Amino acid sequence: MSKTISFIVAFFLVISIAAAVGMGVWGYQLNSKLMAAQKQLASVQGDLDKAKADNAQLSTELAQTNSTLVQTKAELVKTQSDLKAANSDNTNQQARLEKAQKIMAVADAIFVLGENDKLVKALVVDTGDSKLLNLFDTAMQTPNTNNMAIFLEYLFGAIDDALA
């Protein structure tokens, strides 16, 4: 019996030693895996910190870009307003220039070309200036130096006003 007990004790002892060795190997493997996981975690944590820093920098740049965009939009609105004003001024200047050209055509017909009264009257009507037309009609219906002087004074004043 003592042999059987010795055999059982030896068997359990061998099992225990094998279990202890197995547990040691398993513990060593787990420890190695844990250390590798910790290194990987440290690497990932570094990447995360870098990503957070990059995110903060990009957020700052985005805020600056948005601010620049808002400012640019405001400048664009002002520029569009300025352009509308410039176009309006340009239209007004063109209208004034066309008026001056039409009035100058009357002066040219009278003094340079020596056109007849009917053509001069047509040019006066083309100016669209009712006062000029009334003064011309008065000068033609009652021809005298005074009426012609009043007509010519208004004619050259209208040219000056159109070009001013």
Q: State which residues of the chain have pLDDT below 70.
A: 1
pLDDT at 129: 87
Say what the pLDDT of residue 83 is: 92
Residue 84: predicted pLDDT: 92
Q: pLDDT value at position 69?
A: 94
96 and 121 in contact (C-beta within 8 Å)?
no
CA gyration radius, the chain: 52
- Sequence letter at residue 153: E
pTM of this prediction?
A: 0.52
d(CA 60, CA 40): 30
Q: What local confidence, expressed as pLDDT, does residue 7 receive?
A: 82
- Residue 129 has φ and ψ, to the nearest 5°, of -95, 105
pLDDT in tens, 92-121: 888 888 888 888 888 888 887 777 788 888
Which residues have a Cβ under 8 Å from the Cβ of 38 and sit 6 or more positions away?
A: none
Q: Considering only CA atoms, which of 130, 156, 152, 158 is closest in space to residue 139?
A: 152
Classify each residue of 138-164 as buried b or exposed e, where b means 16 or more C-beta atoms within 10 Å of its C-beta.
bbeeeeeeebbeebeebbeebbeebee
Q: pLDDT at position 163, please?
A: 81
